[in-house]
Structure 1
Amino acid sequence: MRRLTLLAALAIVLPPLGAQRTAPERTDAARTSTHAEVLAFLDSLVARGAGIRVGTLGTSPQGRSIPYVVAARPMVSGPAEAKRSGKPVVYIQANIHAGEVEGKEALLQVLRELTVGDLRSLLDSVIVLAVPIYNADGNEAFGPATRNRPGQNGPDVVGLRPNGQGFDLNRDYIKQDAPETRASLAFITAWDPDAWMDLHTTNGSYHGYALTWSPGLNPNRTPANAWVQDTVLEQVRARLRREGVATYPYGNFMDQTPDSLAKGWITYESGPRFGSNLMGMSRLSILSEAYSNDPFATRIASTRAFVVATLRWLAEHPAEVRAHVAATIAARPDSVLVRSAFAPPRQDTVIAEISLAAGQGSGGFARRQRTGEFRPVVMPVIDRFVGTRAEAIPTAYVLEAQWSDVVELLRRQGVVVERLGAAWTGPVAAFRLDSVNVGRQFEGHRLVSVAGSWGEARPDSLPAGTFLIPTDQRLGMVAAFVLEPASEDGYTTWNYFDRALRPRAMHPVRRLDRLPDVPRHLVP
């Protein structure tokens, strides 16, 4: 199969305006931008009168600023004015894995075009919040791509995947160990964007697509995320196909050897430790993965094309965006899926590049020899999840005052938490632990899973100062998912309740079926 050629043409970048040129544009895609160059690029847009506002999301562990950009026309003073505008508010971040560098460069190009280039009219219909260099410390840990990002087709020198603490920032959205995560969650809580995008590069499989994409994969499907998966991304895909850009739902071949390709195509995990999965539980969420085997310039072009096509589609459908986000905000499910498994496969035709063993590396992402031959293969495609355990969502959860660190996690997620202003006695349900399993070391934690069940509510007394988490709120389902003891990716998983976990004990999270009739105060 002949590869689509438009991206090769797009990779020949038109002369940028004035001094607003990215490092790849200045070097014929020989290198990626440094942190200082990203800041200088944004400053040059401001100096040109681009009408953007540049701020600092937070500070990295090694002391670097994490810039954000608000692109709006007219400029908005803050989140409230952005909401009043009626325009979709779209958050886009890049470089969370700092070896995956084309998202950073593509987002800088898009910002230039939105503000001083040919895409300015888009800002009549959409507001963009951009974080082009999310992992600033990883970006500056430059080294040979053969070490920092093996298997990626350029540039020769890139940063590292982890942040300055050694954390994978795209596994940190529940445990919140990194300052980057805490800062971005605070920003998301403040602005409450309608859509969230995260720009990456693939690993591994040799396929026939310029870019693969995914909605949030958590099986707790909201109206917004279901619409993204079933309509928005398919419409963007069709638009890009007409432009000559081939895309497909994100995944990897189960077996890359030519005779075994038909075994299937499978996506990644569903846990909200991944940013796109967490955001998909409360808003439109889109993950972008440029094809790592394409040249650097082509990956920049394909990512830019995907971002622009998505922004155009959202800008053209503001009423539908608002309706699906509003339906998600208003939804009050009576249960939450706390464990998941791959959904049954569907049959589809996937374009594979035939590759030969090259003797480099091992495992599923071993380097192979490319042939340039592309073949459509009918195979099972697994790109969704189903729930395997559901728990009823109560009226509220309660935590004793000693669990203030858990409350800090909830508040950073944007969950509303209250405290009882007086003692209260009433029916309270508890979760009895049958077993506690401490698993492998991962990202600075030992992952925990528990077995047990909720008992019937019994009379109990809650002292003044007890934390109460009502579920009738914007993020009620998210609160339920992270607090439920049996959740596969909640606060129990990440060790926040370890000191209270032992077989036959009661879990610290308890449930109420009605709100206490005593004064309650918001936790700031």
Structure 2
Amino acid sequence: MLLTVLSLLTSFLLQTSPTQDWQTPYEKSKKTQTATYEECIAYYQRLDQAYPEIKMASIGMTDAGKPLHTVIISTDQDFDPVSVHQKGKTVILIQNGIHPGEPEGIDATMMLARDLMQNKKLKAQLDNVVLVIIPIYNIGGALNRNSHTRTNQNGPVSYGFRGNARNLDLNRDFIKEDSKNAKTFATIFRTWDPEIFVDNHTSNGADYQYTMTLIPTQHNKLGGALGKHLKQQMIPALYKGMEKRKWPLVPYVNSRGETPETGIFGFSDLPRYASGYTTLFQTLGFIPETHMLKAFDKRVASTYDLMLEFLDYAGKNGKTIQAARQQDRAALLSQQQYVLNWTPDTTQEETIQFKGYEAKYKVSEVSDLERLYYDRKAPFTRPVKFFDTFTPTLTVTKPVAYLIPQAWTEVIERLQQNQVTLKRLSKDTLLTPETYYITDYKTGQRPYEGHYLHTDVQLRKVQQPIQYYAGDYIVYLNQVSNRFLVEVLEPQAPDSYFAWNFFDSILGQKEHFSAYVFEDLAAQYLKDDGKLKAALEEAKTKDPNLAKSAQAQLNFVYRNTPHFENTLNRYPVARWLGGALPVQ
């Protein structure tokens, strides 16, 4: 029996020993294939068993019915996020496989985790850093494996699909949180509160010489000390480091014209996107985008090296980042004006030396018409305009608090998911807050990620008494979540909960009148109220169609009497401008 136990123990040690073959599926395939979901999770489980500095955990569920995992690498074996931050360590959160057909991050991070354990020089980069990895975020997409949907991409042999198990694009879901994936991500993100967030991708678009492009969160939108640090120090350092590694960087090629030479614009990362969402909580967000036409092994290698650059920068500059973050969060508590929307400032331009290929035209063999192609035999380096300054187009003054009736459970649940501090009224109370009426808006004619987005929202402000009840919610704007709250609760914000249709039931009238009955009542109102009669006459003068329509004139009177419901188009989240409130 003793020999049997020793044999089993030896077998176990051999299975988990760092000296065994630790090649990833990507490496075993001679760098032509990406790991499957099962292979990826199994590999991290082996790392977890072999190294006490690595801990793998299941956090929450996804739409695919499988849990979302995190892999934490902490050299002092402290896996508690509160303790880690108290020690002054910088947390980097790396997310892979949000679009599993763009899998470089999946394979590069598996190798990185292994090498951080097996290479002492690399491991030293973790002295002041804790690395948190989401191995594959879009599990449903990873399971939907094929070899065709990334039509123009140069490898790997097979890969996952962009849509998740519900066919949602998860990189549009960080605010609306339709997916279980997004809800779980919010828990991971808010729990770890990382200083740096990296979401690995692959780009489409024009052809050029670069293997790696980079989207940092827009520095003006990030703002404050962090925005300055990002633009003036971190981005230049990343570019310099990648140049030394023989992977020259370029901004994500987001051009307004047909080819990059027409000018490149900084990416407007709205909160629906990963880096736009993380910005709301003062996190430095980055979207690496390798180029689809470069060989898969080169794309993986450049992703690996860029992640090393993030680790190196965080290790050397973590204290500076933390100080800037604390400064911005302190300022946030007293900040009164919040920007809801931005636009590129085309009067402010930079110049970059762009390494591209000549864009040329020839006759299409499909249509016999002119078509674009890039001539790789004609590379060039020439100056290209880069527009990376954004200016506000819509600003709002924050209230003391938002008042949310408890009926709006979908909204409350999302606030709670994002660890917003909520209070509740302790008793029924009549309050007079500032309210919005939605006076106009546009709605998309086709669904976008399961919704019909509202845009160009117009408002009218009214202060009016409203009855609130015990248990209704008070959301004070005195917390780290301030910017998130303004972005989701102000209806004019492009990714507000109103824009995403969570309040659409207010847009439909519930009560009406019978014209033949209301005629006499309307006539009496006009006799008794000279101002109302004058208003009707003025409206008829300005609008010939109103003058010709008996029904329209009745409706005009109806809407200006107590019979008309004052809840129609009234946005249910009210703004409290001051004064003590009874709370539980």
State the TM-score, normalized to the length of structure 2: 0.80
Q: In the alignment, which of 68, 88, 95 is matched to residue 93 of structure 1?
A: 95
Mapped contact 1:220–1:336 kept (Cα < 8 A):
no
Equivalence for 2:410: 405
Q: In the alignment, which of 354, 357, 368 is matched to residue 353 of structure 1?
A: 357
Question: Residue 219 and residue 419 in structure 1: after superposition, are their counterparts in 2 closer, same or farther (change >3 A)?
Answer: farther
Mapped contact 2:425–2:581 kept (Cα < 8 A):
no
Q: Equivalent pairs: percent with the same residue?
A: 24
Instruction: After TM superposition, give the deviation of residue 249 of structure 1 in Å.
Output: 1.8
Q: In the alignment, which of 417, 429, 433 is matched to residue 428 of structure 1?
A: 433
Instruction: After TM superposition, give the deviation of residue 191 of structure 1 in Å.
Output: 1.6
Q: What's the secondary structure of 2:210's corresponding residue?
A: coil
Letter in 2 for 1:463: Y
Q: What's the secondary structure of 1:508's corresponding residue?
A: coil
Equivalence for 1:276: 275
Equivalence for 2:253: 251
Which runs of 5 or more residues in structure 1 are unaligned?
1-15
Equivalence for 2:37: 35
| Structure 1 stretch displaced more, 203-212 or 290-299 | 203-212
Letter in 1 for 2:574: R
Deviations 1:381-416 (A, max 9, x none): 233432211111111111112112101111222322
- What is the rounded CA distance, in whole Å, between the counterparts of 2:231 and 2:416 in structure 1? 28
Letter in 2 for 1:290: T
Instruction: After TM superposition, give the deviation of residue 57 of structure 1 in Å.
Output: 3.0
- What is the rounded CA distance, in whole Å, between the counterparts of 1:500 and 1:516 in structure 2? 28
Equivalence for 2:556: none
Instruction: After TM superposition, give the deviation of residue 201 of structure 1 in Å.
Output: 0.8
Deviations 1:240-279 (A, max 9, x none): 212322002222344455xxx5311134333110011110
Letter in 1 for 2:115: E
| Structure 1 stretch displaced more, 226-235 or 296-305 | 226-235
Task: Please say if 1:211 is aligned against 2:212.
Answer: yes
**Aligned-residue CA RMSD (Å):** 2.3
Question: Residue 343 and residue 19 in structure 1: after superposition, are their counterparts in 2 closer, same or farther (change >3 A)?
Answer: farther
Letter in 2 for 1:285: G
Q: What's the secondary structure of 1:371's corresponding residue?
A: strand
Equivalence for 1:124: 127
Deviations 1:298-319 (A, max 9, x none): 0011011111011111111121
Mapping of 1:318-397 within 5 angstroms? 318-332=318-332, 333-344=335-346, 345-349=348-352, 350-356=354-360, 359=364, 368=373, 370-397=375-402
- What is the rounded CA distance, in whole Å, between the counterparts of 2:313 and 2:251 in structure 1? 18
Q: In the alignment, which of 571, 574, 578 is matched to residue 507 of structure 1?
A: 571
Letter in 1 for 2:180: P
Mapped contact 2:33–2:156 kept (Cα < 8 A):
yes
Task: Please say if 1:451 is aligned against 2:475.
Answer: no
Letter in 2 for 1:353: Y
Equivalence for 1:4: none
Mapped contact 2:220–2:227 kept (Cα < 8 A):
no
Mapped contact 2:129–2:311 kept (Cα < 8 A):
yes
Equivalence for 2:146: 143
- What is the rounded CA distance, in whole Å, between the counterparts of 2:450 and 2:155 in structure 1? 31
- What is the rounded CA distance, in whole Å, between the counterparts of 2:278 and 2:26 in structure 1? 31
Mapped contact 1:399–1:468 kept (Cα < 8 A):
yes
Letter in 1 for 2:390: F
Deviations 1:98-157 (A, max 9, x none): 10011111111111122222411112110000012111121121111xx31122111121
- What is the rounded CA distance, in whole Å, between the counterparts of 1:361 and 1:75 in structure 2? 60
Instruction: After TM superposition, give the deviation of residue 207 of structure 1 in Å.
Output: 2.2
Instruction: After TM superposition, give the deviation of residue 50 of structure 1 in Å.
Output: 5.2
Letter in 2 for 1:278: Y
Instruction: After TM superposition, give the deviation of residue 90 of structure 1 in Å.
Output: 0.9
| Structure 1 stretch displaced more, 276-285 or 452-461 | 452-461
Equivalence for 1:518: 582
Question: Residue 444 and residue 322 in structure 1: after superposition, are their counterparts in 2 closer, same or farther (change >3 A)?
Answer: same
Question: Residue 86 and residue 347 in structure 1: after superposition, are their counterparts in 2 closer, same or farther (change >3 A)?
Answer: closer
Instruction: After TM superposition, give the deviation of residue 376 of structure 1 in Å.
Output: 2.0
Which one has a larger percent helix, Structure 1 or Structure 2?
2
Mapped contact 1:418–1:468 kept (Cα < 8 A):
yes
- What is the rounded CA distance, in whole Å, between the counterparts of 1:472 and 1:21 in structure 2? 50
Equivalence for 2:315: 315
Equivalence for 1:476: 482
- What is the rounded CA distance, in whole Å, between the counterparts of 1:319 and 1:348 in structure 2? 31
- What is the rounded CA distance, in whole Å, between the counterparts of 2:70 and 2:421 in structure 1? 26
Which runs of 5 or more residues in structure 2 are unaligned?
1-17, 510-567
Question: Residue 454 and residue 247 in structure 1: after superposition, are their counterparts in 2 closer, same or farther (change >3 A)?
Answer: same
Letter in 1 for 2:27: E
Q: What's the secondary structure of 1:111's corresponding residue?
A: helix
Equivalence for 2:173: 172
- What is the rounded CA distance, in whole Å, between the counterparts of 1:318 and 1:452 in structure 2? 43
State the TM-score, normalized to the length of structure 1: 0.89
Mapped contact 2:360–2:372 kept (Cα < 8 A):
no
Letter in 2 for 1:61: D
Equivalence for 1:11: none
- What is the rounded CA distance, in whole Å, between the counterparts of 1:226 and 1:446 in structure 2? 36
Equivalence for 1:288: 288
Equivalence for 1:13: none
Letter in 1 for 2:356: A
Question: Residue 356 and residue 98 in structure 1: after superposition, are their counterparts in 2 closer, same or farther (change >3 A)?
Answer: farther
Mapped contact 1:449–1:493 kept (Cα < 8 A):
yes
- What is the rounded CA distance, in whole Å, between the counterparts of 1:43 and 1:82 in structure 2? 23
Question: Residue 242 and residue 404 in structure 1: after superposition, are their counterparts in 2 closer, same or farther (change >3 A)?
Answer: same
Mapped contact 2:219–2:228 kept (Cα < 8 A):
no
Question: Residue 280 and residue 197 in structure 1: after superposition, are their counterparts in 2 closer, same or farther (change >3 A)?
Answer: same
Question: Residue 476 and residue 387 in structure 1: after superposition, are their counterparts in 2 closer, same or farther (change >3 A)?
Answer: same
- What is the rounded CA distance, in whole Å, between the counterparts of 1:176 and 1:26 in structure 2? 37
Question: Residue 325 and residue 100 in structure 1: after superposition, are their counterparts in 2 closer, same or farther (change >3 A)?
Answer: same
Deviations 1:473-521 (A, max 9, x none): 001111011100111111011110000135973211210112533224x
Deviations 1:331-350 (A, max 9, x none): 22212222222222513132
Deviations 1:410-435 (A, max 9, x none): 12223222211123444410112211
Mapped contact 2:423–2:473 kept (Cα < 8 A):
yes
Q: What's the secondary structure of 1:181's corresponding residue?
A: helix
Question: Residue 50 and residue 111 in structure 1: after superposition, are their counterparts in 2 closer, same or farther (change >3 A)?
Answer: farther
Question: Residue 74 and residue 157 in structure 1: after superposition, are their counterparts in 2 closer, same or farther (change >3 A)?
Answer: same
Equivalence for 2:518: none
Q: What's the secondary structure of 1:402's corresponding residue?
A: coil
Mapping of 1:44-59 within 5 angstroms? 44-49=46-51, 51-59=53-61
Mapping of 1:4-23 within 5 angstroms? 18-23=20-25
- What is the rounded CA distance, in whole Å, between the counterparts of 2:112 and 2:409 in structure 1? 41
Letter in 1 for 2:480: R
Task: Please say if 1:264 is aligned against 2:263.
Answer: yes
| Structure 1 stretch displaced more, 25-34 or 337-346 | 337-346
Question: Residue 446 and residue 370 in structure 1: after superposition, are their counterparts in 2 closer, same or farther (change >3 A)?
Answer: same
Q: What's the secondary structure of 1:411's corresponding residue?
A: helix
